[in-house]
Amino acid sequence: MLVLSRKTGESIIIGGQITVKVMRVEGDVVKLGIQAPAEVPVHRQEVYEEIQRNNREALTSERPAAPKLSPQKGSRPLSKPVVEKPQASTPA
Amino acid sequence: MNVTQTTELEPLTVKSENIIHLPLGLLGFEHLKKYVLLYNEQDAPFRWLQVLTDPKLAFLVLCPFEVLPEYQPEITDDDAEFLGLKSPQDALVWNIVTLRGNGHATINLKGPVILNRYTLTGKQVVIANASQYALQHPLPVIGTTES
């Protein structure tokens, strides 16, 4: 692992496109400012890992029956889809 | 599953304009970028977000607002820009559901899949207010089925 020392306000640049700037240091908390292209998602690692794990648990190849939801107080019946269907921008 | 019988998107065949593009994939599935959103009567109000290139693979998803009326996901300006969302009405929100056996299920409220309803381009975002919501929020289910 490459280890670099940086002061508040200093940055590193990765791959010519991603900059990571030390914004503030407060005790053991470092605030980082990250600029990356839109196609490079940036996540806190523990959040990324827990959502990744959850997605893996959710993926199914057997298409089991969906659970039956309890009716919600004061809501429309859940037997029908309640959202508008997506529409493509180009008309048929 | 026969796509032509189950898709609710019109027309009834999977045409290029009905394909959902997730340019970044889902977290952990970055290589799977194209999906279709399928609906069948007995699974309502859930839908299946099915991998286009491998129809066996699918995620159960739910539009959360009817079941969880207090759920208010906030997305960052960067994500709104990435998705080309000009107003909240441009967005469709689908949260991934995990079957936990015995009819129980949890829904991921931290990382919904947000779609631009006009371009059908989407992204699994970590919402700005993720700390208020659970990754595995239990869904209110009735009865149980065999797991």
Closest CA–CA distance from residue B87 to any residue of chain A (Å): 15
Counted domains in chain A: 1
pLDDT per position as a tens digit, A23-47: 999 999 999 999 999 889 999 999 9
Quick check: B106 and B61 in contact, CB under 8 A? no
* C-beta atoms surrounding B72 within 10 Å: 11
CATH code at B20? 2.30.290.10
Counted domains in chain B: 1
Q: For residues B76 and B145, give the distance between their C-alpha atoms in angstroms, rounded to a whole number.
A: 39
Rg (CA), chain A: 23
Q: Full-prediction pTM beyond 0.90?
A: no
DSSP code for B43:
G
Q: How far apart are the first and last CA of chain A?
A: 53
Residue B105: give the domain boundaries: 3-138
**Is A6 within a domain?**
no
**Is A44 within a domain?**
yes
Q: Which two tokens stand for residue A77?
A: 């019946």
pLDDT per position as a tens digit, B80-124: 999 999 999 999 999 999 999 888 999 999 999 999 999 999 999
CB-nearest to A80 from B44, B105, B136 is: B44
Closest CA–CA distance from residue A21 to any residue of chain B (Å): 18
**Is A1 within a domain?**
no
Say whether B42 and A79 touch across the interface (CB within 8 A): no
ipTM: 0.84
Report chain B residues whose CB lies below 8 A from the CB of A55: 26-29, 59, 96, 108, 124
**pLDDT tops 70 at residue A80:** no
Mean pLDDT estimate for chain A: 84
Q: For residues B114 and A15, give the distance between their C-alpha atoms in angstroms, rounded to a whole number.
A: 29
pLDDT value, residue B108:
98
pLDDT per position as a tens digit, B43-92: 889 999 999 999 899 999 999 998 899 999 999 999 999 999 999 999 99
Report chain A residues whose CB lies below 8 A from the CB of B39: 81
**Is B40 within a domain?**
yes
